[in-house]
A and B are shown apart, each in its own frame.
Chain A
């Protein structure tokens, strides 16, 4: 009989946690939709020039990358497929964007969810962004050296 009480307790705890997440998630998801409707990403693509230069990526990479960072990897990847079909990005650039977004995507939503459970968002968010930048830059160096040798 004890196990039944334990399970009821667990369910109640889980529901409370979901409720706490809802308080954060609902406003965040609404804000993300508003940002999408008002094309906020399009407006800030020009402002990440320096970061893209550091990553040795072209300006065209800004939109799919920012979309992936804020809206998630599925949305980012959909844009990347579209972009590659239209020939805006070459194979090397696509691969680098893939590496970056693998490590760093939908950071807003994820960070808020973990903050609900007591994680420090000021550690969480920079950790993912900085690591993604370092690893993508390293990958760029490796790819470029390798293809120079091949050429």
Chain B
């Protein structure tokens, strides 16, 4: 019985830590995106990348979410996502890419303990993620826009 109480306590403490971390990352990132949006910076970035993102069925703004996911972490990408409005198909494609490829600087270092070299791990994850994104988008399109 004490084991379950102990686990619930541990889970709650971990949740609080994670939520605090989320707050520290998501609020500033989404405010930054709002500023970039307001001053038209986002528009030019999105415009530049929109042909590339169109391959995945995603709007150009997704580039920012992807880059933040790759080089910072998962939660920074969520900060951008909260400012966007995406269809379920787009959200799923983006989630597949981000789910496979995030926090590369830290996670590739961690996985290098298995003997997997850092550049190999990074390339593996980027290519797998983008390939998966393409594939899922294609399947959605073939299935009639899901």
Within 8 A of A (CB), among B115-143: 115-116, 121, 124-125, 128, 132, 136
For residue A56, CB closer than 8 A to chain B, the reply is: no
Chain B residue contacts of A119, Cβ below 8 A: 88, 91-92, 94-96
Q: Report the Cα distance A37→B9, complex, angstroms.
A: 12
Q: Please name the residue on chain B nearest to A105 by beta carbon.
A: B107
| Complex partner residue of B96 from A3, A25, A97, A124, CB under 8 angstroms | A124
- With an 8 Å Cβ cutoff, the count of chain A residues facing the other chain is 53
Within 8 A of A (CB), among B82-109: 82-83, 86, 88, 91-92, 94-96, 98-100, 107-108
The reply to whether B128 and A14 contact each other, CB–CB distance below 8 Å, is no
Q: Report the Cα distance A114→B100, complex, angstroms.
A: 12
- Show 22 A/B contacts (Cβ-Cβ < 8 Å), sorted by A: A3-B35, A10-B30, A10-B34, A11-B31, A15-B27, A21-B78, A25-B15, A26-B12, A30-B7, A30-B11, A31-B11, A33-B14, A36-B7, A80-B113, A102-B107, A102-B125, A117-B82, A117-B86, A118-B88, A120-B146, A123-B96, A135-B128
A-B contact number at CB 8 A: 163
Q: Report the Cα distance A77→B111, complex, angstroms.
A: 7
| Given the contacts A26-B15, A117-B78, A123 and B110 also touching, CB distance less than 8 Å | no
- With an 8 Å Cβ cutoff, the count of chain B residues facing the other chain is 54
Would you list the 5 A-B pairs with minimal beta carbon distance, nearest first? A98-B114, A30-B11, A119-B95, A98-B116, A114-B95
Chain B residue contacts of A41, Cβ below 8 A: none
| Complex partner residue of B125 from A7, A26, A80, A103, CB under 8 angstroms | A103
Within 8 A of B (CB), among A64-81: 73-74, 77, 80-81
| Complex partner residue of B114 from A32, A94, A110, A114, CB under 8 angstroms | A94
Chain B residue contacts of A7, Cβ below 8 A: 31, 34-35
Chain A residue contacts of B83, Cβ below 8 A: 10, 13
Instruction: Summarize B's interface: helix, strand, loop or mixed.
Output: helix
Within 8 A of B (CB), among A25-73: 25-26, 29-34, 36-38, 73
The reply to whether B30 and A13 contact each other, CB–CB distance below 8 Å, is yes
Q: Please name the residue on chain B nearest to A93 by beta carbon.
A: B114
| Complex partner residue of B99 from A33, A95, A99, A114, CB under 8 angstroms | A114
Q: Please name the residue on chain A nearest to B16 by beta carbon.
A: A26
A81 vs chain B, min Cβ distance (A):
5
Please give 16 more A-B residue pairs, beta carbons under 8 A apart, in addition to A80-B114, A95-B115, A135-B128: A6-B38, A11-B31, A22-B15, A33-B10, A38-B7, A73-B110, A77-B114, A98-B116, A110-B74, A110-B99, A117-B95, A119-B91, A119-B95, A120-B92, A128-B99, A128-B132
